[in-house]
Structure 1
Amino acid sequence: MPTFEYFRKKLEHTGDLLSVVKTMKTLSAVSIRQYEKAVESLEDYNKTVVSGLHILFYRNPRISAQISRQNTGKVGVILYGSELGMCGQFNDEIASFMTENLHKQDISGEQTIVLTLGTRIAGLLEANNHAVERIFSLPGSVKAITGSVRELLVQIEDLRTKQNLELIFLFYNKKTSGASYTPHMIQLWPLNLDWLKELSQKEWESHCLPFYRTDERKLLSGLIKQYLFVSLYRAFAESLASENASRLAAMQAAEKNIQEQMNELQTQYNHLRQSAITAELLDIVSGFEALSE
């Protein structure tokens, strides 16, 4: 039968665990906000880059011919996962989403060259016999995202040169509201030709058209580099915000379960204590009655 000491230790250990969970909840909530701010601050920069592409294609729609798709059959996949655990189904959902979308486009595993962000997602793919070309560590803060994007861009350019990739896709979880998120996919390379065609046909917002003196090819190359940078940076920030949102939801569920367990332990402890007090009182009464006789 459990003793008082047993219940005291269980309550103490459960209380310590609850403190850890609450701390992780707080850290996740703070992290979500900083990554959300990073996404928000990126909007103006992204708008500038898109405006540059807009005016370039508006003035010369034929320049889109320079963005060609090579028919090599090789597809690059950049998959954003997590570095740490305790984030629910975060990695499983984005891995399943990637598999489903590649299957819809008739892209087999042999055609893909996979780069993963986060060791957890890499382990999940390898456990399912899906080869991973390279594993990148995730940045631990907003300030570190820029360095991670540059490192990833170098790897992408190296693969494009050596492997002649036909397509490059990004797969990452995108935060929606509260602690929820949804898997998301974008075609990183080549730029979507339908979108570029739409830009070339879209009227400029004002009557004064911007002009440029830079060679169109150099300008296009520079804008594409900035567009790739923005896309990767946004994916990092969105994925990290989603990871922390998933961890927050997991910690909220854990906190509820721990509190319920603590309440049950406390009830059992109180019952045991009351039983002991009742037994002592009965012993006293019995002794008093025996002396009275």
Structure 2
Amino acid sequence: METLESLRAKLESAGDIDSVVKTMKAVAASNIGQFERSVAALGDYYRTITLGLAAYFRTEKWKDLSEGTNSEINSIGIIVFGSDQGLVGRFNDSLTEFVTQSKKELPSVKEVWAVGERIMLLMKDEGFNCTRLFAVPNGVEAITAMVGEILLKAQESIERGELKTFFIFHNQPKKVAGFVPVKQRLLPLDEKWQQEFEPVEWPTKKLPQVVGNSETVMMALIREFLFVSLFRACAESLASENASRLNSMQRAEKNIEELLDELHHSFHRLRQSTIDEELFDVVAGFEALRQSPK
């Protein structure tokens, strides 16, 4: 049976949890802002790099960068961006399901590089060969170092002939709310990759030209393309993660507010009932004293 003391304790506990949820909600909202601004800025820069590559391929020929390696055609590596934080709903699970479904299109996946320990464990449960683990960046500033490390390891794997093709899998924020898992082909930089830039339209009527040494220009564009592709994938993943956490916190806040409201009503009803009982006892005692013989 509920007592005033037990209800008061529940109210205090629910109030403490409500404070924590509100704090986490504010943090998630703040993080979303910085990651969304980063994604927006990268979108403009990515567009610039794309135009540069499209302009180059209109005037210059570029050899298949995968030529000359000893890797097998079916040596595929995938890079999966997950989350190691809690309260993100099905963030990691839905991404794992998406990667698993993509096995039909990528039947020769040799290695999985996981960004986040939780996504790595889920991928292992699905039978993937997880060979590398990268820590999930805790902010925009930490993304650069992680991207540099991934690119270095990818270059080493290609040079050793272990892997030839790389795909990126991550969650991407929707325009309205929520997120959706997506994939992108990162490497090799072959003829198929070059054909992706053919539909790109030049924004002016003037014909683009390559200024300076063409190979130097191309290598600079390639470095920026690979860097921005990975950086954007990571930033979009982190934005999706915080959006998912914000939604979870909003649902939790609503549930806690409903619980607090119910507890307050129960507390007031019980206290009123206790007061009524005490008044009844006083009245009954007064009546008994009044009716007692003198």
> Fold conserved (TM > 0.5)?
yes
2:181 partner SS: strand
1:79 partner SS: strand
Using the TM superposition, give the Cα deviation of residue 187 of structure 1 relative to its aligned residue in structure 2, in angstroms.
0.5
Using the TM superposition, give the Cα deviation of residue 239 of structure 1 relative to its aligned residue in structure 2, in angstroms.
0.3
CA RMSD of aligned residues (A): 2.1
1:144 partner SS: helix
Instruction: Give the Cα–Cα distance (whole angstroms) in 1 for the partners of residues 237 and 200 of structure 2.
Output: 31
Alpha carbons of 1:3 and 1:202: their partners in 2 closer, same or farther (altered >3 Å)? closer
Match of 2:27 in 1: 27
Instruction: Give the Cα–Cα distance (whole angstroms) in 2 for the partners of residues 149 and 122 of structure 1.
Output: 18
TM-score w.r.t. the length of structure 1 is: 0.90
Match of 1:44 in 2: 44
2:45 partner SS: helix
Do the aligned partners of 2:100 and 2:126 also contact (CA within 8 Å) in 1? no
Do the aligned partners of 2:80 and 2:170 also contact (CA within 8 Å) in 1? yes
Instruction: Give the Cα–Cα distance (whole angstroms) in 1 for the partners of residues 53 and 120 of structure 2.
Output: 35
Match of 1:92 in 2: 93
Match of 1:273 in 2: 271
Q: What amino acid sits opposite 1:188 in the alignment?
A: L
Using the TM superposition, give the Cα deviation of residue 4 of structure 1 relative to its aligned residue in structure 2, in angstroms.
1.2
Do the aligned partners of 2:66 and 2:189 also contact (CA within 8 Å) in 1? yes
Match of 1:10 in 2: 10
Instruction: Give the Cα–Cα distance (whole angstroms) in 1 for the partners of residues 235 and 87 of structure 2.
Output: 19
Using the TM superposition, give the Cα deviation of residue 244 of structure 1 relative to its aligned residue in structure 2, in angstroms.
0.2
Aligned: 1:125 with 2:126: no
2:212 partner SS: coil
Using the TM superposition, give the Cα deviation of residue 59 of structure 1 relative to its aligned residue in structure 2, in angstroms.
0.8
Instruction: Give the Cα–Cα distance (whole angstroms) in 2 for the partners of residues 169 and 213 of structure 1.
Output: 32
Using the TM superposition, give the Cα deviation of residue 178 of structure 1 relative to its aligned residue in structure 2, in angstroms.
4.4
Paired residue for 1:182, among 180, 183, 190? 180
* Structure 2 counterparts to residues 134-153 of structure 1, below 5 A: 134-153=132-151
Aligned: 1:77 with 2:75: no
More helix per residue: 1
Alpha carbons of 1:80 and 1:231: their partners in 2 closer, same or farther (altered >3 Å)? same
Q: Unaligned regions of 5+ residues in structure 1, if any?
A: none
1:246-280 CA-partner distances (Å, limit 9, x unpaired)? 00111111111111111222222122112111110
Match of 1:101 in 2: 102
Alpha carbons of 1:243 and 1:290: their partners in 2 closer, same or farther (altered >3 Å)? same
Q: What amino acid sits opposite 1:286 in the alignment?
A: A
Instruction: Give the Cα–Cα distance (whole angstroms) in 1 for the partners of residues 76 and 274 of structure 2.
Output: 71
1:220-257 CA-partner distances (Å, limit 9, x unpaired)? 33322211101000001100000000001111111111
Q: What amino acid sits opposite 2:230 in the alignment?
A: L
Match of 1:59 in 2: 59
Instruction: Give the Cα–Cα distance (whole angstroms) in 1 for the partners of residues 276 and 137 of structure 2.
Output: 59
The count of residues paired between Structure 1 and Structure 2 equals 288
Using the TM superposition, give the Cα deviation of residue 43 of structure 1 relative to its aligned residue in structure 2, in angstroms.
2.7
1:143 partner SS: helix
Using the TM superposition, give the Cα deviation of residue 195 of structure 1 relative to its aligned residue in structure 2, in angstroms.
5.5
Q: What amino acid sits opposite 1:104 in the alignment?
A: E
TM-score w.r.t. the length of structure 2 is: 0.90
1:40-88 CA-partner distances (Å, limit 9, x unpaired)? 111332223222211221013x425445596432211100000211100
Do the aligned partners of 2:172 and 2:240 also contact (CA within 8 Å) in 1? yes
Instruction: Give the Cα–Cα distance (whole angstroms) in 1 for the partners of residues 252 and 152 of structure 2.
Output: 40
Q: What amino acid sits opposite 1:213 in the alignment?
A: G
Instruction: Give the Cα–Cα distance (whole angstroms) in 1 for the partners of residues 22 and 73 of structure 2.
Output: 51
Using the TM superposition, give the Cα deviation of residue 207 of structure 1 relative to its aligned residue in structure 2, in angstroms.
2.3
Q: What amino acid sits opposite 2:79 in the alignment?
A: I
Aligned: 1:207 with 2:227: no
Instruction: Give the Cα–Cα distance (whole angstroms) in 2 for the partners of residues 282 and 66 of structure 1.
Output: 92
134-143 or 201-210, which moves further after superposition?
Answer: 201-210
